[in-house]
Amino acid sequence: MHRGPGLGRGLLALAGRPILLWEALRAALSMRRRGGLLPSSDYLEWRLQTAYGDGSTRARAEDLASYLSWRRRMRATP
């Protein structure tokens, strides 16, 4: 079962960095399952497995902010 950072913790990690809120929206849209609004729980579990070595681990809010910053920089790279 997916154990993400939770909306509240995720938003706190992005507080003071509103540009990352847009990146979070872009990321969520790019990962959503076909015909859905959110990524599948299997996909999120796989992401947690590759990031932490355990698909049932709760993602850390600061890792979310780091990932979104990295993703934003990569999109800006020509």
Domain boundaries, the chain: 7-76
Q: What confidence category does residue 68 fall into, taking pLDDT thresholds of 50, 70 and 90? A: very high
Instruction: Give the pair of three-digit tokens for residue 48.
Output: 């947690």
Q: Which residue has better confidence, 60 or 10?
A: 60
Residue 13 and residue 5 in contact, taking contact as beta carbons nearer than 8 Å: yes
> What's the rounded mean pLDDT across residues 58-73?
89
Q: Please tell me the predicted confidence (pLDDT) of residue 14.
A: 80
Give mean pLDDT, residues 41-47: 87
The pair of three-digit structure tokens given for residue 38, joined into one six-digit string: 């959110």
Q: Can you tell me the distance from the alpha carbon of 67 to that of 78, in angstroms, rounded to the nearest whole number?
A: 19
Q: How far apart are CA 40 and CA 34, in angstroms?
A: 9
